[in-house]
Amino acid sequence: MAVTEQFLATFNAADVPAHAATLAYPHIRLASGQVRIWQTIDEGLAAMEQAIPVLRARTGWDHSEWDHRRVIHVGDGKVHLDVQFTRYRADRSVIGVYPAVYVVVEQDGRWLIQCRSSFAP
């Protein structure tokens, strides 16, 4: 769960390098009817540097919070999580609530998020 805490904290801080470091590469994101695969951290950095300002401009996004994180399956070096997060504006009004499945893997002695499938835009 620690990597998911880091993932959201760095996203909320718009700390793109630290946020990208919470992901395993290649990284897969299924959202908005698209499959995105970032082969390297550099690809992830470029995508995130563009996405965060767009999210803020389009929705007024200020931060996100976990609603829940539940373990679905556990295996050697891999965990599947059922998660849900809410995106908020600065006035705490809700932009949206998004269920998702995250795949967390152990890579080089670190736990990282390898894949995310969500209903977030």
Q: Which pLDDT score, from 0 to 100, does residue 121 have?
A: 78
Instruction: List the structure tokens of 75.
Output: 């295996």
Instruction: List the structure tokens of 106.
Output: 């152990």
Residue 9 buriedness (CB in 10 A; 0-12 / 13-18 / 19+):
middle
Task: Report the chain's mean pLDDT, rounded to a whole number.
Answer: 95
Beta pairing partners, 79: 74, 104
Q: Which pLDDT score, from 0 to 100, does residue 120 have?
A: 84
pLDDT in tens, 63-106: 999 999 999 999 999 999 999 999 999 999 999 999 999 999 99
Q: Considering its fold, how many domains does the chain have in total?
A: 1
Query: Cα separation of 1 and 9, whole Å?
Result: 13
Over residues 107-114, mean pLDDT: 96
Host domain of residue 66:
2-118
What pTM did the predictor assign?
A: 0.92
CATH value at residue 40: 3.10.450.50
pLDDT in tens, 26-77: 999 998 888 999 999 999 999 989 888 888 999 999 999 999 999 999 999 9
